[in-house]
Amino acid sequence: MKEVLVLGANGQLGQTIKDFSDIELVRFHFFSRKDLDITDSNSLNEVFKDSGFDYCVNCAAYTNVEGAETHTEAAFSINAEGAKNIAEVCKTYQVKLIHISTDYVFDGNKEKPYATTDATNPINQYGKSKLQGELYIKAQLKAYYIIRTSWLYSLHGKNFLKTIIDKVESGVSLNITTEENGTPTSCVDLAAFILHIIKTDSVPYGVYNFSARESTTWYGFAKEIVKNLSPEKSGLISPTKSFKTLAKRPKFSVLNLDKTEEFYKELNTWQESVRLMVSSYKS
């Protein structure tokens, strides 16, 4: 039996992993922030000691990109120091770490999808704090997977897809930016990749990109959600160029999936994954 600890279990990715956790020969242990705060290394040590975990999946993070500009200390405490604390206990107790990172480690000045080997250069505090977390993990561990993903959505928690569904169902008109290019990623798809790593034990350690195939803008993403939800309401979504935010966002953060595809063949297009998510919302 493989023993797997999931941290940040009440977030959207953590909850999605829980939805799919009934798997033969794998036993999951879910810890929310209330159960275990990753900034508290003593508590981490208590949980890891004598636990016999094989894997730790870190879904815990400070994910408010706008908030990180003003609550920068909190973002670094969780995304950088928290990741460092986890790497330390994983090293002490020989637990393999699966850590989730972000496309926002890149500056967005490239015009072709970012490979895992491309230079990082985050342009906002969230991205900087996540990159620092990556660096701490790499400095401590050999047995790690850092999975950079983008534009996560699910039916849990707060995310773009749920916001669009709520607004459109209430008949609210929305102006959505066409200024950023990236790839919406279903938490269901990412959870399946994480489970693949755990079940097969055959994916080499290192940094991976994970998203759906192909790319779009937030406007394109919103249109696709509404097309699947209630196409007669697609007039509620309009494109806009100006969208004022505190945090700078990379204009282009599409991820190159070549390395991931060497070990994982199940990637959907983003449109197919949106279709599946909206259909599960409707059913």
Ligand X SMILES: NC(=O)c1ccc[n+]([C@@H]2O[C@H](COP(=O)([O-])OP(=O)(O)OC[C@H]3O[C@@H](n4cnc5c(N)ncnc54)[C@H](OP(=O)(O)O)[C@@H]3O)[C@@H](O)[C@H]2O)c1
Shortest CB 103 distance to ligand X, Å = 6
The reply on whether position 78 binds ligand X by CB under 6 A is yes
The reply on whether position 39 binds ligand X by CB under 6 A is yes
Q: How many CB atoms lie within 10 A of CB 192?
A: 18
Give me the 119-158 binding string for ligand X, x by CB under 6 A, dash otherwise.
-----------x------------------xxxx----x-
The reply on whether position 12 binds ligand X by CB under 6 A is yes
Concatenate the DSSP letters of all residues of 94-154 into one string.
T-EEEEEEEGGGS-S--SSPBPTTSPP---SHHHHHHHHHHHHHHHH-SSEEEEEE-SEE-
Radius of gyration of the CA atoms of the chain, in A: 18
Which position's Cβ is nearest ligand X? 11
Do residues 211 and 269 lie in contact, with contact meaning Cβ atoms separated by under 8 Å?
no
The residues that bridge with 5 in the sheet, in sequence order, are: 29, 56
Six-digit token string for 119: 């230079």
The reply on whether position 33 binds ligand X by CB under 6 A is yes
Q: How many CB atoms lie within 10 A of CB 199?
A: 13
Q: Toward ligand X, which CB reaches closer, 156 or 233?
A: 156
Of residues 241 through 270, those in contact with ligand X by CB under 6 A are: none
The reply on whether position 90 binds ligand X by CB under 6 A is no
Shortest CB 142 distance to ligand X, Å = 21
- Total number of residues binding ligand X (CB under 6 A)? 25
Distance CA 242, CA 169 (A): 25
Give me the residues that bind ligand X (CB under 6 A), please: 7-8, 10-13, 33, 37-39, 59-63, 78, 82, 100, 102, 130, 149-152, 157
